[in-house]
Amino acid sequence: MCFTLNFGANTAAVAVSQSPESTYVLSEVSSFVAAQAAIRNELRDGVNRLQSVCKKKAQSGGAKLSDLQQDTSQRLLQTKQRTNEAERAAETAVKRYLDEAKTRRSEKCNALSGLFKEKGDRAPSAATCQQAEAEFKNAESLNLRLSEYKEISRSRQELFQELLQTEARGCTRPGFTEQLFGVYQTNNLGTDLGIAEYFTRVIDKLRVTQISPAGVEK
């Protein structure tokens, strides 16, 4: 049996209108996360098939790993540590963006602020609030996508460990997990290690594409 893998404060209620540019950027992030999920799902399906046809060889507890399998297990652990570090950096960047957006929304949309403005000042104030609300929604969406990505990454790491245990029980040829993990390292590891830079670039794009209303400073 074998398979292949290709790798705040109270705010006034306002209508939130996302710019087409920011909507496009967030849709690209959703597509990126969906692609990562598809890779993980393919790996999961393959592991499940192997385990299904190998039930007769199943042992209670973990099977003893060969020297090669122990080396593979160590590389899996090292990779997990590196990718977790990259994800923590991505979390820091996204959380900072979310906190900043939340603060701006609080400042621009405080429900009491309108009471102290002259009637003629309320139009630009509402527009600024609408912009701040839109930015906050962008930040929330981005934070959700990062959470989804982290779950995909975590489950993929677990699947490689399951695959290694399945190999140790004699369900695949020796070195199969190492070979498949090598494919992942070649095709996908760079993406995982660069995830902080990826989300930082997305944040920069969202800052640029958040169009300011005419005559209103951000």
CA nearest to 195, candidates 90, 112, 104? 90
- If one compares 107 and 91, the residue with the highest pLDDT of the two is 91
What residue segments make up the domains of the chain, in order of their start? 20-48+66-209
| Rounded distance between C-alpha atoms, residue 65 and residue 172, angstroms | 13
CA distance 65 to 198: 36
What is residue 215's predicted lDDT score, i.e. its pLDDT?
39
Is 119's pLDDT higher than 80?
A: no
**pLDDT tens sequence across 121-165:** 555 578 888 888 999 999 999 999 999 999 999 999 999 999 999
Q: What is the pLDDT of residue 53?
A: 85
According to the model, what pLDDT value does residue 217 have? 45
- Report the predicted TM-score, pTM, of the whole model to 2 decimal places: 0.82
The H or E element spanning position 156 is helix 122-168
pLDDT at position 122 is: 52
Q: 152-167: b or e for each residue (b if 16 or more CB lie within 10 Å)?
A: bbeebbebbbbbbbbb
> What pLDDT does residue 90 have?
98
Q: Concatenate the DSSP letters of all residues of 27-71 into one string.
A: HHHHHHHHHHHHHHHHHHHHHHHHHHHTGGG--SSPPPPPHHHHH
Confidence band (pLDDT; 50, 70, 90) for 57? low
